[in-house]
Amino acid sequence: METNNTHTTSLRVNGTDYRLDVLPWVSLLDALREKLDLTGTKKGCDHGQCGACTVLVDGKRVLSCLTLAVMKDGSDVTTIEGIAKNQELHPLQKAFIEHDAFQCGYCTPGQICSGIGMLKEGKAHTREEVAELMSGNLCRCGASKGIIDALMEVKEGGGYE
């Protein structure tokens, strides 16, 4: 349904169904943050260059700042708020804590969502491959070693589904 140039978009976000009326140029990032008050996903560069806005859409990692909300009508979106299940942290969240894989924490939500998506892709087998496949997610604080350590631990343990 269209009203005043808005488009009704249906999204399943973190297991809950939503119908949002959004303007055609509203990014998925802005819809999540402003319409659903899910502020864990961060707005970094707003140009797709830092990865802070990474979420999972139908299980694949997506830069939500470059994705129009209307393009994902009918999609299943997982943000950092939906990673833990039944009050239990995801194995990657636990590994981030164990490996001190965050400092300021600003990039952490995007890093975790991207990491889960990358692990599910099954393309990374070495530290170097993990570093390359995560290179679109920047950490300006220098926690990259801890991030890679956390990802390798979870990858080797196989507990990322």
Q: Running along the chain, 161 residues long, what does each successive block of 10 average in pLDDT? A: 81 98 97 98 95 98 98 98 96 96 92 97 94 94 93 86 64
Of the CA atoms within 13 Å of residue 135, those in its CB half-sphere come to 7
Q: Which two tokens stand for residue 124?
A: 């990374």
- pLDDT given at position 161: 64
- pLDDT given at position 1: 54
Q: Can you list the domains of the chain with their CATH numbers? A: 2-80 (3.10.20.30), 91-157 (1.10.150.120)
- Taking the chain, what is the end-to-end CA distance rounded to the nearest angstrom? 36
Q: Which run of H or of E encompasses 116?
A: helix 108-121
- pLDDT given at position 18: 98
Q: Which amino acid is at 57?
A: V
